[in-house]
Structure 1
Amino acid sequence: MSLPGNQPPKRSFKEKLIAVAPKAREIPQLVICSTLASLLLTSAGVVMSAMAAKAQIVPDATLGNEGSTVISGAIIQDDIADLIDGGAKRDSNLFHSFSEFNVNAGQRVYFANPDDVESILSRVTGNDGSDIFGTLGVDGPADLFFVNPNGIIFGEQAVLDVEGSFYVTTEEAISLGNGVYSATAPDTSQLLTVSPSVLVGQYLTRNSGDITSRGQLAAQENLAMVANTLDLQGQMAAGDDLTLLAENVKIRDTATDPFVGFAGDELRVQGREQVDILALSHRDSGLYSYGNMVLQSANPVGGDAHYWSGGDFRVEALDGALGSLESPVDPIIRTLGDVEIDGYRGSSLHILAGGSVKIGTAIITEPDAGALGVDFLRETITLLDDTVVQVDGGAQPTLDIRAGVKPEALGEPPLSLLTGFDNNTFDLLPVPISETNIPSGANIEIGDVALWAANGLVLLTNHYQPNETLTGNILITGDGLFDLGIFADRIRGALNSQVENAYFDSRNNVTVTNALIATSGIGDVGDIVINAEGLVRFEGAVVATNLSNEQGQGGDIRIRAESVEVLDGTDVSASISGPGNVGGVMITAQDRVVFNDSNISSRSVSAGTGDSGNIVLKARTVEVLNDTRLRTSTFRAGNAGDVVIMAQDRVVFNDSNISSRSFSTTNGDGGAIEITARSLDVLNGSRLETDANGSGNAGSIVIDVRDGVRFEDSSGSSRVFGSSQGRGGNITITARTLEILNRAFLTASTSGTQDAGNIVITTETLDVLNAGLTTATSGAGDAGDIVIMAQDGVVLNDSEASSRVQRDGDGNGGDIVITAGALDVINGARLDADTEDAGDAGDIMINVRGRVRFEGTSADGVFGSGATSGVLNPFTDGNGGDIVITTGTLEVLNGASLATGTFGLGNAGKVVITTRDRILIQGNAGINTRSDKLSSTGEGNDIRIVAPLLILKEAALLADTNNSQPGGDIILTLGRLEILDGGQIISSSQGSGVAGNLRIDATQGVLVAGRNPNFSNLVAADPELAEVLSAQSILSVRSTANGTAGNIIIGTAGTTPEIFLNDSGQIIAESASTDGGNIFITLNDLLLLRNQGLISTTAGTAQASGNGGNITINSPFIVAIPNENSDIAADAFEGTGGNVNITARGVFGIQPRPQRTPLSDITASSELGINGTVNLATLNTDTLENSLTELDDTLIDPTTITASSCIAAGATDDQSSLIITGRDNLPAGPDDVSLTNYSTETVQLVTSTPSISLQEPNALYQLTDGRLVLGRQC
């Protein structure tokens, strides 16, 4: 407030109002008049009419010849009054001095106001106080200073008629610059010309008197009261500043008489020791100012009143720092500007501010029990998120703070009683709004808030009736008395307390820094609702709804904003430890939600039997970073809540965790994790987990993403623990692309009695790099399936997709099902469906439009790429699953393999492959099915392949039995089969079991050729390979131990045209010590053996017993080169040699012999036993001897007869079969010499003859298809 001094000429209140009127706003209006005579108010505390009248006005002699005079009967303002004249004039100051000064009831006393006098200074030097029971005024515009150190009483009929300012004080002196005008030491006074001041209170002493007012005091400019104690009732008004300054200030009203303190500018109440305001008995009571309002004390201000300020409202300590406010009833603060309070304690507090609000600590102890509209507010408010809040400070303990409220929503101060002045009534003028009291923001800043009573409410909003020109934030700092924040602690309140809610509603930001926002207790827990049009930011904060050990429901935490940031260890949690349900956490942001090193949870803990709530996040992007945890959980019968994330754009988890768990040993279910977004990244140790104990089910993980999902060094899992009876949850991912990288895993498992969940992936492309997909069971429940549906490609690179029955698992393994455009399993990647216990392993089923490729090994060379389904435990009876592949092309390359097998009592599964194009198995790769331990009793199973082309190059198909059970068959239905460079197709027995059969139908023939140049290196690295494999390209059924070799059947469908065995290519059915297997070959065209080609059913290869197997060949032609040592052998060592039965039109270049030679042989010998037999059934030409046969025109095709060609016959004289050999592709000439007879010539071995260009035929020969050909003998 401005003090009198060296100032420009003063303006009247009216002049000031007119000056600012262009900036005014049409809200509460006021009429200021010269008197308040029309007010008839009474005081219950002081009965003025009972007091005896004192001597009236007695001037003293301290001013000498310039003493004061009293003129009675003067006419002032058309009425009789006493006029005080005289005095000592010094420039604009006029000094008066009295020994006594009193104004009786009905008396009118005025100070004369010479024209150039601006300040009238009046003192009382006697020992008595002053009683002002009538009218005291100034006959002019001068300011009036009145000093009586003995005390002053304004009676209930007291009226001021002062156009200027009125300063009344019980100080000992009035300050005049460096001098004083003293009432206790008049001789020391200095009658100076400087402007006086009483507003510092520096001359108050313990002996200073009090000021008591029960009247209606008004000054058109400033009104100031300074005393040791101010005891105030009634009304007082100042056109400018109203200042109440004392050691102790006491303000009261009654139900019939309001207390009204009004200032046209600043209103200041200062009680150095105490300010005690209790003025809520009348609805019009209150302190009102058009400017700032300040309550100031060294101790907390007792402020039970309504406050209305056209400027700012502050509670201060004496040094100007913020101070505290206490109110056992219910204060209501309305201000066009800001509100600043260091601390508040008391009943419900309502603050409606046009600007910002700052409170250090607010403690709400109880609701107000007063009257509606007098002591508290009741209103329905709708928040930004359309939440409807019932504000009722009488029904519930309430902290109600509304900032940035538009002026017209603040209401009008109830100043109608101030319109009854006797004279000089002014025109109605609006509340002055100047640049100094226009608010600059709509912020709310809170340190601590504590609710210590039941059914509490915290409402912080700058969205209520907003001034749209302002923006503002809400800041919770935790820097108050408790260093906590906002909490509802009903342990201090009633045991049956109900709901406590906290609402934060901001047009801009809400920030909570190192602070607590909590609702807690032992009844129903209230909600925490935070809305912001800007950013909601938590730093090191705790936001919690907690309920302990009693009946009641938990509260929700709802946050809605443009963006939300939860940072630096912030804990947002809803929890309960009783039978009620836990509240949820819901966060909605138009832009980003960011969690960094934070915790968000909804938990039913300890003794809690209720359900935990959901965590729901909705935003454009969601980022969960740096050890953040999103958790829902339950420990007893209740179900865990879901975690639901819906993002329009990206969701990122980085070194963070989402979990929904049921830790209960009863029937609580785990909740689901559901994520919907444009893209999802789960990175750097992040985990998505749904778990269950007891009989509850684990929740599912459901990811639905429009673009890409990436798991990197992270995991997603759904697990059932212990002996739980609940089911595992599914992991379902739908995305355009899915990447699972660098130690990332998706896992669905159970150790309980129910099934694990499935992993289901729907995508365009799936890339799994150094990562894995796993379903497993170690209990009675089945492992889940892995189902992959990819429109384009699936790549597993150094990775694993597995479904396992683990130790102690009685349940079955799940299937691995892949449907895709293409599949690549490379660099040691695996598809595994295994069992280690009683449960059966699952199947692997692949259906791919394009190419399936298995290729390579792990970086250390230990693990080859492939697909396996096996029985791994030698003491359990689970069966292995099948591998079923349907594709366009299949490639198994460079150390890769497809395998089913059994180490235990159960049987291995089948391998079934169907392709529309070729199969290439190359480079130490293979397909196998095997029973693998002597102690096991499981059977191997079949390999079935249907394809247009099968190529094995340095690779193998293997059906192997190592125990007493039969091995599986290998069944190939092909267009063409090529076994090259040491390729192998083997059905073998290394135990006592019978090796499986090998069945081949190839409509375009079979080629077996070449040796593996790397075989010696492979055997050096793994010597066991030599027991099964060899360096040659082989079709084989064999027994290397006590088991019987299987059979080889080729061409049973009658569609296989030829077999070409070249460069040590072999078809063998051999045994080491048992009977050799049988070989059945049926061809449409040709069996060709070159360069040590071999067909063998030899027994006793270990120089032991066993009969040689039989070889049955039905082929039009069998051709070998005599000196290339190609053999057909059914030999034995100790046993009987087998039988060789050949039906052919011609057998060329190979002949039966008693034993093998360096030539091409057909043998059925036994080294120590009885030889077998060789039976050749070839073409019979007897029908052509000495006969003439009519030939069909098409019987001889001249294009098949070439110049310089000849006819080669078999080696025996009695069984002759012929084929045409030749070169140059030249047909025989039509002029060849005709034959005169039809005899056939003796068949001889082909002899080398010099090449000639043309030779004439010398005989007629019949071919295998019955055609007769003119030719010459070779």
Structure 2
Amino acid sequence: MMNKSHLLHWLLNGSALYCLLASHSTAAQIVPDATLRVNSIVTQQGNAIAIEGGTQAGGNLFHSFREFSVPTGSEALFNNRLDVQNIFSRVTGGSISNIDGLIRANGTANLFLLNPNGIIFGPNARLNIGGSFLASTATRLNFADGTFFSAAADQTQPLLTISVPIGLQYGANPGRILVQGNGQGIRSTSELIDTTIGLRVQPNQTLALVGGDVALEGGTLKTAGGRIELGSVAGTGLVSLTSTDKGFALNYDSVPNFGDIQLSQQATADASGEGGGDIQVRGRRVILKDGSPIEASTLGAKPGGTLSVNAQESVEMVGMSANGQFVSGLFALVYPGSSGAGGNITVETKRLTILPGAARIDTSTFGQGASGTLRVTASESVEVIGRSADLNFASGIFNSVQPEATGAGGNLIIETGRLIVRGGAQVLAGAFGEGRGGNLTVTATESVEVSDQIADGVFSGIFTQTEAAATAGNLTITTPQLTVGNGAAVSASSFGGTGAAGNLMINTARLIVRGGAQVTAATQPGGLGGRLTVNASEFVEVSGTGFGGSSLLTTSTFGNADAGDLSIETGRLIVRDGGLVQAATTGAGSGGTLTVRARELVELSGTSADGGERSSLIAVTQGTGDAGDVRIETDRLIIRDTAGLSVNSRDSSSGAAGNLIVEASSILLDNGSLQALTAGGDRGNIQVTSNSLQLRRGSRITTNATGEATGGNIAIATGTLAALENSDISANSEQASGGRVTIDAQGIFGTSFRLPPILDTPESDITATSQRGVEFSGIVEINTPDVDPSSGLVELPQAVVDVAALIDRRCSVGSEQSRFVVTGRGGLPPSLSEAIATDAIVVDWVTLGQGRGDFGAGELQSRGAVQGRSDANRRDAETRIGLRLQPGPIMSAQFYDLGEASNSWDNRPRVPASPRPRVFFGEQIVEATGWVKGANGEVILTATEPAVTPHHSWQRPTYCP
């Protein structure tokens, strides 16, 4: 084991060895290589190194060195003539260039430094040149005329040119470029020149570092409104150069493979200026950490440029500075007092990851200028995770109008495969000042997942929001699956101001809201609420509760302005375990309309785990504003296990409840409810249209009113209504008149109309009462054929039928050979050995002649319905009467003329009927006074009463062997 003295000795020797190596690398000065027609001349006086000579061709000056390093505290001056436009310097030896001093050049010449072995800029490295500075580990520089200036050892006499440079050609193993610093160069003011440390070029010039891997370790790169290029080339490739008004723009289309670019230890690259400059970052992986920002902000009246990051594999941002003052990220801001528009940020990669530590991408405005557009394109995923350690600042992607700002917000666009926002992170397009907020658009080809509430009021989310007088932008999410869970939120809202909220549009196959999460378009106190529209081709599921209460899909208003509408169009809507779909108002504003169109199913079921929250679909008012309506259109509606569908006016509210309108092929309430409960106003009605309506286990359809509110109305149109196991239908009131219950049904099972004082029974009841007394009771109207569906039913045998026995060859009832034939719509006998009922009749539609009048039917020894339709205002009107008769002792006739129905009901088993007086227009029509049955079983109306003779519905066979 190494003892402490040996360890200390090893550390000291190691440190001495490192210092020796370091001093050796920095001791190397600037040494010409004598490869040019006119070689470079280097002279040193103290710490000053003068570089003269070189070969000039037109405006181009060429220098060639075997070694090129500038020690700490030294100054290297390229003493060029003022007519020189470009200085090209190459390093042909095998050593890395270590630059920890000052590099100067005369005039406005651009300076190019090529060293394929690598370049290190120390913490004391500075630039003082009038033009652009390009440091590269390329092997040669290409020119427009086809010539090149190579740093390869085999080139001794280059063909020098007056042409312009057009590209950097890289070899197989480009060297690394490293910029070191103390991390003190991050912008903290709006001053144009905010610091003198680091590598800086003049305003509107280019600072480019293009090598193998590129790293900034606390280093600083600056240009005021110019251009910064960071490029990492791995292996052979060509980077093209194009002259611009800001120096040079680089293009990487001919680079197949890239290396890594990393900024750490509060490093920064900053092109902020009067108008924001341009920054381009190209690599395989781009990493910003330890509070290292890249910034191109607007500080004055000129428009901003573009900050572009393109990473072949990934972009990663993580962590704050050690002192907690700076965060890692990309910034194109409009500073306070600036009127120029903000610059744009574009990120293109496979994977973008923004990790805890308040890392962010931000294009917000704090001034008069509008913010720019922020666009993220990540083919695989975007992950935005976490917050600062004190939870005060979220990691995220932001494009906002900040307080006191008057500029409009720009748009925020995210295009990816998967978007994940969790751990308290946020994606936000906000309007907190006077300027209108920008739109936020998310398109994810696979999924969007938003999750986690990590403290009270601290949760992950995707938002468009206004907290001032400005209008918020719209939020649109398009993805196959959107999951919002564990207290997170997706919201387009207005809070604390008068600005209108934006609209929230979700286009998906599957929307899942669970664990107390919220999808909301809300407003308080004065701004109009936005619309919430969900188009989910497969299903919408809202389930469970969480830290803040129920999982929620809602539009709501908490102030004087109206809430927006909530519209859901899907295959299936499932609300369970305490989930809530809601359109609400708690102030003077009106609630929005809640509309659900579900092709297959709407299912509400259950309560929260603690039983405190019912699964509900509701439009509610708790203020003076009226609640909105609820409209449901679906194939099947299922409400069970105490869940409910309702429109409510709460006890503390003076606003009216909305109306509940349901259209469904089938409706099942199994310990569920349809409710319109009102404490004020004159609404709160329920309208149900269905082929089949079933109520079981204490289910309710109610429009009950409290206080002095009038009970609402219930209108049910259904094929069959079955109310079993103490399931009630009621339109009751406390201190006002009861409502009206109207039921149109072909058949009603299991329920009865109750009159006071018999109301609350263990049976299923239909009521419309008032606690003020019988004279204030409402109206119950039940319209149904006077048919007992159980009449004439024959109990079928429980045994399985033998198919072979369906044909009976024995003698019939008349003891002769039988033949059993079934044709048309006639009835069947109970079995093959029994006779068909004697009163079976087949009746077709009958069309009367032209004229005006009505139709009266007398008593028939059958049961059925006569339905007539005429237009009494037309002489050529046609009246159609349908007779549908079934066995039984009662016949009903209904005829509608001028909107009124006349009914005739008789329980007497007689055949003839006395005619009523009739008045016709046009041709004379002889009234029917009798009827006979034809050979085919049809009913024929006759002008005279026929002789009544017994008739059997079966004939005795003529032959039986």
Q: State the TM bucket, normalised to the shorter chain.
A: 0.5 to 0.7
Q: For residue 696 of structure 2, what is the aligned residue in structure 1?
A: 1009
The offset of 1:324, in angstroms, is 11
The offset of 1:818, in angstroms, is 0.9
The reply to whether residue 534 of structure 1 matches residue 223 of structure 2 is no
2:451 aligned to 762, 769, 787, which one? 769
Structure 2 distance, partners of 1:788, 1:644, is: 24
The offset of 1:1087, in angstroms, is 0.9
The offset of 1:885, in angstroms, is 0.6
2:101 aligned to 437, 448, 455, which one? 448
1:557 aligned to 207, 211, 214, which one? 207
The reply to whether residue 571 of structure 1 matches residue 220 of structure 2 is yes
Q: For residue 31 of structure 1, what is the aligned residue in structure 2?
A: none
Structure 1 distance, partners of 2:120, 2:294, is: 24
Contact 2:411 2:439 in 1 (8 A): yes
Query: Cα distance 1:890–1:1203, how it changes in 2: closer, same or farther (>3 A)?
Result: farther
Q: For residue 1248 of structure 1, what is the aligned residue in structure 2?
A: none
Question: What SS does structure 2 have at the residue aligned with 1:638?
Answer: coil
Q: For residue 673 of structure 2, what is the aligned residue in structure 1?
A: 984
Contact 2:656 2:682 in 1 (8 A): yes
Query: Cα distance 1:871–1:364, how it changes in 2: closer, same or farther (>3 A)?
Result: same
Structure 1 distance, partners of 2:665, 2:24, is: 100
The offset of 1:666, in angstroms, is 4.5
The offset of 1:778, in angstroms, is 2.0
Query: Cα distance 1:789–1:1100, how it changes in 2: closer, same or farther (>3 A)?
Result: farther
Pairwise mapping of residues 475-514 of structure 1 onto structure 2 (< 5 A)? 475-477=120-122, 484-488=124-128, 499-507=130-138
Structure 2 distance, partners of 1:1202, 1:920, is: 48
What per-residue deviation string (whole Å, max 9, x for no partner) do you get for residues 661-693 of structure 1?
A: 112335222222211111211211321111113
What per-residue deviation string (whole Å, max 9, x for no partner) do you get for residues 584-615 of structure 1?
A: 454454221122233334354xxx6x212122
Letter in 2 for 1:688: I
Question: What SS does structure 2 have at the residue aligned with 1:692?
Answer: coil
2:622 aligned to 932, 937, 945, which one? 932
Pairwise mapping of residues 850-1249 of structure 1 onto structure 2 (< 5 A)? 850-858=538-546, 860=547, 862-873=548-559, 877-923=560-606, 924-933=614-623, 936=624, 938-953=625-640, 954-962=642-650, 963-981=653-671, 983-990=672-679, 992-1003=680-691, 1005-1010=692-697, 1032-1051=698-717, 1056-1083=718-745, 1085-1089=746-750, 1093=751, 1125-1135=763-773, 1136=775, 1137-1146=777-786, 1194=825, 1196-1198=827-829, 1240=909
Pairwise mapping of residues 204-353 of structure 1 onto structure 2 (< 5 A)? 334=34, 344-345=47-48, 347-349=50-52
Q: For residue 68 of structure 1, what is the aligned residue in structure 2?
A: none
Letter in 2 for 1:751: F
The offset of 1:928, in angstroms, is 0.8
The offset of 1:503, in angstroms, is 4.0
What per-residue deviation string (whole Å, max 9, x for no partner) do you get for residues 59-95 of structure 1?
A: xxxxxxxxxxxxxxxxxxxxxxxxxxxxxxxxxxxxx
Query: Cα distance 1:558–1:552, how it changes in 2: closer, same or farther (>3 A)?
Result: closer
The reply to whether residue 834 of structure 1 matches residue 472 of structure 2 is no
Query: Cα distance 1:1095–1:943, how it changes in 2: closer, same or farther (>3 A)?
Result: farther
Letter in 2 for 1:1081: I
2:300 aligned to 615, 636, 640, which one? 636
- Aligned-CA RMSD value: 4.5
Question: What SS does structure 1 have at the residue aligned with 2:638?
Answer: strand
What per-residue deviation string (whole Å, max 9, x for no partner) do you get for residues 1095-1115 of structure 1?
A: 67979999xxxxxxxxxxxxx
The offset of 1:1269, in angstroms, is 13
1:474 aligned to 119, 137, 145, which one? 119
Structure 1 distance, partners of 2:862, 2:580, is: 45
Question: What SS does structure 1 have at the residue aligned with 2:297?
Answer: strand
The offset of 1:390, in angstroms, is 3.6
Query: Cα distance 1:671–1:455, how it changes in 2: closer, same or farther (>3 A)?
Result: closer
Structure 1 distance, partners of 2:314, 2:68, is: 37
Contact 1:750 1:779 in 2 (8 A): yes
Question: What SS does structure 2 have at the residue aligned with 1:678?
Answer: strand
Structure 2 distance, partners of 1:839, 1:680, is: 35
2:496 aligned to 784, 803, 807, which one? 807
Structure 2 distance, partners of 1:878, 1:363, is: 69
2:71 aligned to 352, 360, 367, which one? 360
Structure 2 distance, partners of 1:774, 1:1099, is: 55
The reply to whether residue 618 of structure 1 matches residue 262 of structure 2 is no
Letter in 2 for 1:487: L
Structure 2 distance, partners of 1:1097, 1:537, is: 92
The offset of 1:660, in angstroms, is 1.5
The offset of 1:984, in angstroms, is 1.4
Letter in 1 for 2:119: I
Structure 2 distance, partners of 1:334, 1:772, is: 64
Structure 1 distance, partners of 2:346, 2:440, is: 14
Structure 1 distance, partners of 2:181, 2:664, is: 70
Q: For residue 487 of structure 2, what is the aligned residue in structure 1?
A: 798
What per-residue deviation string (whole Å, max 9, x for no partner) do you get for residues 890-934 of structure 1?
A: 10111111111111121100110001101111112011111112x
Q: For residue 414 of structure 2, what is the aligned residue in structure 1?
A: 733
The offset of 1:1034, in angstroms, is 0.8
The offset of 1:756, in angstroms, is 0.9
Larger radius of gyration: 1
Contact 1:739 1:767 in 2 (8 A): yes
Query: Cα distance 1:600–1:1215, how it changes in 2: closer, same or farther (>3 A)?
Result: farther
Structure 1 distance, partners of 2:27, 2:354, is: 50
Structure 2 distance, partners of 1:540, 1:889, is: 59
Contact 1:1098 1:1130 in 2 (8 A): no
What per-residue deviation string (whole Å, max 9, x for no partner) do you get for residues 421-475 of structure 1?
A: xxxxxxxxxxxxxxxxxxxx24333331253965476554336xxxxxxxx2333
Q: For residue 924 of structure 2, what is the aligned residue in structure 1?
A: none
Structure 2 distance, partners of 1:1129, 1:1204, is: 45
What per-residue deviation string (whole Å, max 9, x for no partner) do you get for residues 494-546 of structure 1?
A: xxxx815444333589xxxxxxxxxxxxxxxxxxx999922212233689999
The offset of 1:1062, in angstroms, is 1.1
Structure 1 unmatched runs, 5+: 1-318, 369-375, 381-387, 392-399, 406-440, 464-471, 479-483, 489-497, 510-528, 576-580, 1011-1031, 1103-1122, 1151-1191, 1208-1213, 1220-1227, 1229-1237, 1242-1264
The reply to whether residue 717 of structure 1 matches residue 398 of structure 2 is yes
Letter in 2 for 1:767: E
Q: For residue 688 of structure 1, what is the aligned residue in structure 2?
A: 361
2:534 aligned to 810, 833, 846, which one? 846
What per-residue deviation string (whole Å, max 9, x for no partner) do you get for residues 86-117 of structure 1?
A: xxxxxxxxxxxxxxxxxxxxxxxxxxxxxxxx
Contact 1:348 1:364 in 2 (8 A): no
Structure 1 distance, partners of 2:299, 2:86, is: 33
Query: Cα distance 1:1062–1:613, how it changes in 2: closer, same or farther (>3 A)?
Result: same
Q: Percent identity?
A: 20
Structure 2 distance, partners of 1:1126, 1:322, is: 97
Question: What SS does structure 2 have at the residue aligned with 1:755?
Answer: coil
The offset of 1:651, in angstroms, is 1.6
Structure 2 distance, partners of 1:816, 1:998, is: 29
Structure 2 distance, partners of 1:600, 1:637, is: 24
Structure 2 distance, partners of 1:506, 1:687, is: 31
Query: Cα distance 1:363–1:320, how it changes in 2: closer, same or farther (>3 A)?
Result: closer
Query: Cα distance 1:641–1:1216, how it changes in 2: closer, same or farther (>3 A)?
Result: farther
Letter in 2 for 1:806: F
Letter in 2 for 1:448: G
Structure 1 distance, partners of 2:260, 2:359, is: 20
Contact 1:921 1:952 in 2 (8 A): yes
What per-residue deviation string (whole Å, max 9, x for no partner) do you get for residues 1100-1158 of structure 1?
A: 999xxxxxxxxxxxxxxxxxxxx9744343444433144444444447799xxxxxxxx
TM-score of the two chains, using structure 2 as the length reference: 0.64
Query: Cα distance 1:1096–1:846, how it changes in 2: closer, same or farther (>3 A)?
Result: farther
Question: What SS does structure 1 have at the residue aligned with 2:545?
Answer: coil
Query: Cα distance 1:1205–1:350, how it changes in 2: closer, same or farther (>3 A)?
Result: farther
